[in-house]
Structures are given as C-alpha cells and as structure tokens.
Amino acid sequence: MLRHRLTKQFRLRRTAPRGGSLCRVVASVIIVALALTPAAARAQAGKRQTSRAAQAATKTKKAADKKEAEKKAQPKDELAALRDEFVRVTGEYKKGLGDLLPYQERDVRRAEEKLGKLQELKKEGLIAQRDVEAAEKILADARAKVLETEQQMKAADVQVANALVEEKVVEQAAKTPPPARGKMIRTTAYIRYGGVGSFSLSSGAGRVMSFYTQAFKKQLPISAFGQTAVHNQLGFDHRNAMDVALNPDSAEGRALVNYLRANGIPFFAFFMAIPGSATGPHIHVGMPSHKIR
C-alpha cells in the first residue's frame, strides 16, 4: 500500500511542469479568463437587451391591436355616431309618449261617458246647461291632449334629428370665435350669422313667417317653436328660437337665409343630415341654443 502511494507521487512529480513553466501556464490561464470575462458579460447584457426589446415590441403590438379593435368597435364617423344617438333618443322619446297615450285615451273615454250621462240628466231637467258645457270642455281638453301626443310622436323624428345636429355643430362651433357683429361664417357643416341686434320669438317670429308666406304663398314649415319636450329631454335651451324645416341649399332655404341676414336676425343654418333619419338640415332662427344640463 505504501509502495503504491510513493509510486503515484513520483509520477506526478515527473509530469508536473517545473518552476517557471508552471508560472507561465498559470499566467496564461488567468489572462485568458480575464479576456473572456468581459465578452461573456457583454454577451449576457446583449441577451438581456434583446429580451427587453422583444418584450417592448410585444407590448407595443398588443397596444396597437387593442387600439385597432377599439377603433373597429367605434362608429366609423361622426354622422354614424349621430345616427346611433338619434335612434336611441328617438326610441326613448317615442316610448315615453307611447306609454302616456293609453292614459290620455282612457281620460277621453271617461269624459265621453260622463258627458253622455249629463246630457241625459239635462234632458230630464235635473241639471243645468252649464254642467253639460263644463263636461264638454273637459272632453275637448282630453281629446286635445291625445291629439298633441300623437302629433309629437309624428314630429319626434324631425325634432330629435334637428336637436342632435344642433348639439353636434354648436359643440364644434364653440371651439372657434363667434362672428363679429354683422358678419357671417360659412363652413361645410353650417352657416352662422350673429345678427346686429336682439331677437325674440314674440317680436321677431311673426315678421319671418309673414315674409315666407308672402314670398312662397304657404306657411313657414316650423318644426320646433320655442322649448319642446324633445329639447327638455336632451337638456337643450331652445326657449327663444325656432327651427325651420328647410335645407339651406334649397331655393326657399337660401331666400330665408338672405332675408334673415338682410334684417340683422341671428341664425344658424345646418347642412348636416343624419343617415336614416327624417331630417337634419334645417335653419335655426335666433341665437344658438346651449346645454342646460
């Protein structure tokens, strides 16, 4: 056993480098190690940078895909958005009127029944004529309410479309300075004229209607006179203005615009039309409306 160990140590001594040779080998190994270390570090850093760049690229692509998906989910343009809003608001407005109509029709039936009974009592001399007349007035009022609701349902498309067009255009126009006194602004969407004086429905609407009747031998097609139920629902102040269902590009529309401007009456003429709606283009006579809520 001892002999085996001595033989092994002797062999190691014979194969090991001597003195300076051993130092040179060690120095070479150290130099190579030092030379390789920065390269390895740089390679590792490069891998990390590549990984980060890949993650950033993936994140950017996901954000772009999300934005594109949102863009596809949104309406294609403002008119499409306006059309969707028109359909929604008109449906809600008509539904409210439709829910009200049966109660009004019930009131008419009750008023008719009561009037019939009172008329029988009058024939028998049991009640005075004024009682019958009072019942007749109640019936007339009830029928008038039904007729008004039915007319509002028919006019809902026009009024809602006009109100939404006004809201959209006035919102855009608010980003630009108003026209100077007596000046007019014309864009692809509207004509705006600030007038040279004040305007009110009580003092100015009659003159506008008279002009139109004399010029065209028919009534001015007013779609909204002052505040309406539609404007209340949309939260739009329309108390001192009227909407005229004329396209500003039509012969009658141009004549009305020229009359308003010549007489210093403020107006907003809208060219926009909501696809699929009853209207959109119209002339708003009076100062621009504004949101009240």
For 39-54, what is each residue's pLDDT tens digit? 555 555 555 555 666 6
Q: What is the pLDDT of residue 189?
A: 82
Q: What is the pLDDT of residue 68?
A: 56
Q: What is the pLDDT of residue 9?
A: 47
- Residue among 254, 265, 275, 251 at smallest CA distance from 164: 275
- Number of Cβ within 10 Å of residue 14's Cβ equals 7
**Positive or negative, the Cα torsion across 172, 187, 231, 203?**
positive
Mean pLDDT by 10-residue block, N- to C-terminus, for the chain (293 residues)? 46 48 50 48 55 65 60 53 72 83 95 95 93 95 92 77 78 75 83 86 93 96 87 83 92 96 92 68 87 70
- Quote the tokens at residue 265: 């009456």
- Quote the tokens at residue 280: 């959109």
pTM tops 0.75, yes or no: no
Tokens 């002999």: give the residue.
Answer: 3
Q: Angle at CA 213, nearest 5°, toward 211 and 219?
A: 130
d(CA 266, CA 194): 5
Q: What is the pLDDT of residue 223?
A: 85
Domain-by-domain residue ranges, the chain?
A: 78-173, 184-291
Q: What is the pLDDT of residue 34?
A: 45
- Number of Cβ within 10 Å of residue 160's Cβ equals 29
Distances (CA, A) of 88 to 118, 164, 172, 287: 46, 11, 22, 27
